[in-house]
Amino acid sequence: MSGQAGRPRIPAAALAVLLGGVSAALHLGKLPPAVPALQASLGIDLVEAGFLLSLVQVASMTLGLLVGLAADTIGLRRSMLAGLVVLTVASLLGGAAGTGLGGGGAHAVQWLLVLRAVEGVGFLLAVMPGPGLIRALTPPGADKAALGLWGAYMPLGVALALLLGPALIAWGGWVDWWWALSAMSAGAALWLWIVVPADRLRPAAAGPASGGWMSRLRATVGARAPWLVALTFAVYSSQWMAVIGFLPAIYAGAGVPAAWNAVLTALAAAMNIVGNVAGGRWLQRGVAPERLLQLGFLTMALGGVAAFAQMGQGADALGLPPVLRYIAVCAFSLGGGMVPATLFLLGVRLAPGPSTVSTTVGLMQQASSLGQFLAPPAVAWLAHRVGGWHWTWTATLACSLVGMAIARRLGRIRPAAEMA
C-alpha cells in the first residue's frame, strides 16, 4: 500500500466542480435567513414565504429525472455551466426586482416567485452532472474521497447560507444578499469554464445505454439499482431535513436566544459535512458501501431516539439533558453524512451505463426532493397531534430501518460494468 505521499490528489478541475455544487446549494439555502427582511420590505405573508421556500423543491421533485437526462444529452460540463449561468442571472434579476425595477410591491413578489422556480431548474442543471464529472476528472485512487466531498455540497452550502446570510442582510439588505450570491455563482462558472476540459463526444460503443435519450431513459427506469439508490436517498434526506429544518422552531420554543439558535442549527447542519468527508475516506480505504450505509442509518436511528424520546410531558418529562440531546442531534447529522457520500458513489457505480450517470443522479435528486417535501409536514402534523416533538424519533427510526433494509439489497447488486 502506498504512503500518504503516493496517494493521488484530487485535481483542481474536480474542486471546481465541487465549488459549483456549493454555490448552487447557497442559492437553495439563501431564502430562510432572508424571510424576515422580505416580509419587512415587500410585505409578503407566510403563505408566500412558504411558496418561495418550496418552489425549488417542487422543481427538483418534478423535473429531476428529466434534467438529469438533459445533462447526459448536452454534456456534463455544458449542463453545469448552463445551470450556474441560470442561477447567476435569476439571482441578479431577483435583486433588481427588489430595487423596484420590476414594479415594486406585489409585482416584485410575483417576480421573485417566478425567478425562484427558474432557480430550481438552474440548481438541477448545475448539480446533476457533478458526480459524473468528478468521476471523469479524478484519478482512480482518489475518486471515492472526491465523491465523498461532493456529497457535502448541500449541507456546506446550506450551512454557509445560514451563517453568512443574516450578517450580510443586516449590513446591506436582502437585495445585496441576492447579488452577492449571483457574483458567487458567476465566479464558480468562470473557474469551471477555465479548468474543466470541454465535453468530448461519446464513443459509439459506450454500451447499451449510450443511444438516444429515450433509450437512456428506458435503461435507467428499467433497472432495479437506480430505484433502490433513489429510495435510500429519499429516506435519508427526508428525516435529515425534518430534524434540521425544525431545529430553529424547536429551540425558539425552548427559549433559546435567536443568535444562539442560528449558530446551533448551522453547527448541527455542518456536522453532516464531517460525515460526508469521513464516509469518502472510509470508502477510499476499502470499507464496503453497504456497511457504511448500515452504520450511517444506525447512527441516525440512535441519535434520533436519544434527541427526542422522553417519558411524559411538561416539567415531569423524563429524557436526556438538553446538552446531551444536542450532542445526539449532531451525531444524527454526522452519521447521516456518510449516507449521501456512499450513495453518490453507488449512483455512479450502479448506473446502467456511463451515459446514464446524470440520469440516475436525477432520479436520486427527484426522490430526495419528494422526501424533503413530504416529511417535514408529516413530522409537524405528528408534533401537533401529540403536543410536542417527543415522538419525532418514531419517524426517524422508521426511515432508518427502511434505509438499512435497502442497504442490504444494494450490497447484493453487481455493477453493470462488472457484469459486462
186-226: pLDDT as tens digits? 999 999 999 999 887 544 434 444 457 778 788 888 889 99
Least confident of 62-71, 120-129, 312-321, 344-353: 312-321
Average pLDDT, stretch 160-183?
89
CA-to-CA dists, residue 234 to 230, 300, 353, angstroms: 6, 14, 23
Average pLDDT, stretch 134-159?
83
> Does an H or E element contain 31, and which?
none
What pLDDT digit, counting tens, does each position of 359-412 carry?
888 889 889 888 887 887 788 888 878 888 888 999 999 999 999 999 999 988
In this predicted structure, the answer to whether residue 5 has a pLDDT above a threshold of 70 is no
What is the reported pLDDT for 4? 47
Least confident of 173-182, 186-195, 317-326: 317-326
What is the reported pLDDT for 397? 96
Average pLDDT, stretch 51-58?
73
> Cα-flanking dihedrals φ and ψ of residue 129, to 5°?
-80, -10
What is the reported pLDDT for 261? 78
Q: Which residues contact 15 (CB under 8 A, 6 or more apart)?
A: none
pTM of this prediction?
A: 0.78
Share of the chain above pLDDT 90, in %: 31
What is the reported pLDDT for 365? 85
- The SS3 call for residue 318 is strand
> Cα-flanking dihedrals φ and ψ of residue 311, to 5°?
-110, 125
Which of the four pLDDT bands, split at 50, 70 and 90, describes residue 8?
A: low
Give the integer Cα–Cα distance in Å for 98 and 10. 40
Could you tell me if 229 and 366 are in contact, meaning their C-beta atoms sit under 8 angstroms apart?
no
What pLDDT digit, counting tens, does each position of 280-290 carry?
889 888 899 99
Could you tell me if 154 and 14 are in contact, meaning their C-beta atoms sit under 8 angstroms apart?
no
Per CATH, which fold does 11-197 belong to? Growth Hormone; Chain: A; (1.20.1250)
- The larger pLDDT score, comparing residue 113 to residue 44, is at 113
What is the reported pLDDT for 266? 82
Which of the four pLDDT bands, split at 50, 70 and 90, describes residue 109?
A: confident
For the chain, where do the domains classified as CATH 1.20.1250.20 start and end?
Answer: 11-197, 212-420
The CATH code that applies to domain 212-420 is 1.20.1250.20
What pLDDT digit, counting tens, does each position of 58-69 carry?
777 888 888 888
Which of the four pLDDT bands, split at 50, 70 and 90, describes residue 3?
A: very low
- The larger pLDDT score, comparing residue 268 to residue 355, is at 268
String of DSSP letters for 93-154: HHHHHHTTTT-STHHHHHHHHHHHHHHHHHHHHHHTTHHHHHHHHS-GGGHHHHHHHHTTHH
Secondary structure percentages of the chain, helix, strand, coil, to 5 = 80, 0, 20
Phi-psi region of 371 (alpha: psi -120 to 50; beta: other; left: phi over 0): alpha
What is the reported pLDDT for 203? 42
Give the integer Cα–Cα distance in Å for 31 and 224. 36
CA-to-CA dists, residue 124 to 70, 79, 151, 159, 271, angstroms: 10, 9, 15, 19, 24
